[in-house]
């Protein structure tokens, strides 16, 4: 029979007292955003852009023009811009284009990065489309919104993201709204209005 070494009673008592003084064990850090579970889409989602919405042309110093909804709040971050109304958004991000923009690069490089920085991203389809502003890769995907600062509530969002390339630059035009909102015509108008200048 093997002998077991026991701590002397005074030492054991000291360890127990120290653990009690330290308080409860801190919880593990929350999961990264990409590891979240997809929240269920709302049955009657808000976010329809009215048929009466007026659109104006936004011209960027980054070298493109785009029709955006008039009156939406605008925020700039360098060459990137975002227009927001409640949970609806139009965002353009400018970056250096890859050596070769093709379907393999979109699937092997762009989408994994999108999934990593997003919240419960699910890509529905990727396809090459021809628009008045040129050829673009269209990525249709869904993700969770950022948690509400007060309630913590999240909403499932759907996105149409277009990748346009010109002169060594890549523009990612991202149109988003609560999942199930009826914005087909308005998103079509905006995606077809994009022009490099």
Closest CA to 176 of 90, 82, 86: 90
Give the pTM: 0.82
Domain count, the chain: 1
Q: What is the DSSP string of 84-119?
A: EETTEEEEEEEEEPPSS-SHHHIIIIIHHHHHHHSS
Collapsed DSSP state (helix, strand, coil) of residue 120: coil
pLDDT for the residue numbered 9: 52
Q: Which domain holds residue 81?
A: 55-196
Contact 38, 144 (CB under 8 A): yes
Between CA 41 and CA 75 the distance in angstroms is 27
Let me know if residue 142 belongs to a domain.
yes
pLDDT over threshold 50, residue 113: yes
Let me know if residue 170 belongs to a domain.
yes
Let me know if residue 172 belongs to a domain.
yes
Let me know if residue 15 belongs to a domain.
no
What pLDDT, in 10s, does the model give residues 22-38?
444 333 345 577 679 99
Q: Taking the chain, what is the end-to-end CA distance rounded to the nearest angstrom?
A: 85
Let me know if residue 20 belongs to a domain.
no
pLDDT over threshold 60, residue 2: no
The tokens describing 4, both together, are 């077991």
Let me know if residue 100 belongs to a domain.
yes
Contact 64, 196 (CB under 8 A): yes
What pLDDT, in 10s, does the model give residues 75-106?
999 999 999 999 999 999 999 999 999 999 99
In percent, the amount of the chain with pLDDT more than 70 equals 84
Instruction: CATH number of the domain at 150, please.
Output: 3.40.1000.10
The band of 122, judged by pLDDT with boundaries at 50, 70 and 90, is very high
Let me know if residue 39 belongs to a domain.
no
Let me know if residue 101 belongs to a domain.
yes
């Amino acid at each position: 029979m093997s002998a077991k070494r026991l701590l002397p009673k005074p030492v054991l008592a000291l360890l127990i007292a120290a653990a009690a003084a330290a308080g409860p064990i801190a919880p593990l850090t929350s999961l990264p955003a990409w590891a979240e579970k997809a929240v269920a889409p709302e049955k009657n989602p808000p976010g329809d852009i009215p048929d009466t919405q007026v659109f104006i042309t936004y011209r960027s110093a980054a070298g493109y023009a785009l029709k955006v909804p008039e009156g939406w709040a605008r925020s700039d971050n360098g060459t990137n811009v975002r227009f927001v109304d409640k949970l609806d958004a139009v965002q353009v991000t400018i970056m250096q284009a890859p050596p070769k923009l093709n379907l393999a690069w979109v699937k092997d490089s762009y989408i994994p990065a999108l999934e990593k920085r997003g919240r419960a991203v699910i890509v529905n389809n990727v396809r090459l489309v021809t628009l008045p502003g040129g050829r673009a890769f269209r990525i249709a995907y869904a993700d969770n919104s950022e948690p509400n600062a007060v309630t913590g509530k999240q909403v499932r969002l759907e996105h149409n993201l277009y990748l346009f390339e010109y002169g060594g630059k890549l523009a990612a035009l991202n149109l988003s709204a609560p999942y199930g909102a009826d914005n087909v015509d308005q998103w079509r108008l905006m995606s077809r209005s994009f022009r490099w200048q």
